[in-house]
């Protein structure tokens, strides 16, 4: 998995690529830790390059959602492939997270 960050006004876009699994989800958590430390409160996670996410990846996103909520921030997702979207639907997490078709729509929602 590759993680890339872009800053756009007061929001951060976190662009993920590859498979998010038990071996690399701690790296994603570390990247999220960095954002919290820098007091970033608006985060869009761009899934356009993500082919698969496992339970540890989902748990990492849930934790980040909780942390951002605690400090008055917000988390939005964009560009999710259908097969990744299916994982969110099976686990009913699509009801918890805000999922948008593209970055622009996600950014507009803040």
Partner 1 sequence: MSVKECKAESIISLRNVSKFFQGKTVIDDVNLDIYCGETFVIMGCSGSGKSTLLRLMTGAIRPDKGSVALKGRDIAKISSEELDEVRKTFGMTFQYSALLDSLNVEENIALPLREHTQLAEEIIKIIIKMKLSLVGLRGYEEYYPSQISGGMRKRVGLARAIALDPEIVFYDEPTSGLDPVVGGVIDKLIKDLSVKLMITSVVVTHDMHSVFEIADRISMIHKGKVVEVGTPEDIRNSKNEYIRQFINGSPSGPIDFFREDIGMEDVLDL
Binding residues for partner 1, rule: CB under 8 A, are 22, 25-26, 29, 52-56, 58-60, 62-63, 83, 86-87, 90-92
Identify which of residues 33 and 101 has a Cβ nearer to partner 1 in the complex: 33
CB of 88 or CB of 100, closer to partner 1 = 88
CB of 39 to partner 1, least distance (A): 20
User: Could you identify the residue written with the tokens 């299916």?
Assistant: 86
- Minimum Å gap between C-beta 91 and partner 1 is 6
Residues in Cβ contact with 89 at an 8 Å cutoff, skipping those fewer than 6 apart? none
Strand partners for 97: none
Cβ closest to partner 1, residue 8 vs residue 59: 59
Helix (H) or strand (E) holding 15: strand 11-20
Could you tell me where the beta strands, DSSP code E, fall in 21-63? 42-53
């Amino acid at each position: 998995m590759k993680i890339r960050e872009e800053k756009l006004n007061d929001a951060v876009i976190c662009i993920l690529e590859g498979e998010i699994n038990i071996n690399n989800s701690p790296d994603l958590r570390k990247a999220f830790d960095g954002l919290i430390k820098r007091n970033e409160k608006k985060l869009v996670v761009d899934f356009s390059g993500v082919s698969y996410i496992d339970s540890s990846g989902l748990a990492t996103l849930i934790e980040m959602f909780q942390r951002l909520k605690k400090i008055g921030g917000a988390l939005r997702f964009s560009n999710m492939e259908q097969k990744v979207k299916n994982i969110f639907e099976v686990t009913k997490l699509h009801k918890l997270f805000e999922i948008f078709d593209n970055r622009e729509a996600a950014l507009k929602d803040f």
